[in-house]
Amino acid sequence: MTDFAATKAMFALPEGMIYLDGNSLGPLPKAAGARVHDMMTQEWGKLLITGWNKAGWMAKPTDLGDRVGKLIGAEPGSVVMGDTLSIKVYQAVASALELNPTRKVVLSDNGNFPTDLYMADGLLRSLGDDYELRVVDPEAVANHLTDDVAVMMITEVDYRTGRKHDMKALTELAHANGIVTVWDLAHTAGALPVDLAGCKADFAVGCTYKYLNGGPGAPAFIYVAPRLADQVRPALSGWLGHEAPFAFDLDYRPGSGIERMRVGTPPVIQMTALETAMDVWDMADIHEVRAKSIELTELFIAEVEAACPMLRLASPRDAEIRGSQVSFSFEDGYAAMQAIIARGVIGDFRAPDIMRFGFTPLYIDEGDVRAAVAIIADVMSNKLWDRPEYKVRNKVT
Q: Which of 11, 19, 159, 209 is catalytic?
A: 209
Peptide bond into 245 cis (omega under 30): no
Q: Which of 60, 164, 210, 262 is catalytic?
A: 210
In Å, how far from its chain's centre is CA 310? Answer: 30
Q: Which of 184, 202, 348, 368 is catalytic?
A: 184
Residue 210 annotated in active site: yes
Q: Which of 4, 19, 90, 113 is catalytic?
A: 113
Nearest partner of 194 among 212, 215, 216, 173, judged by Cα: 212
Residue 19 annotated in active site: no
Residue 30 annotated in active site: no
Residue 356 annotated in active site: yes
Q: Which of 292, 356, 359, 368 is catalytic?
A: 356
Residues assigned a catalytic role:
113, 184, 209-210, 356
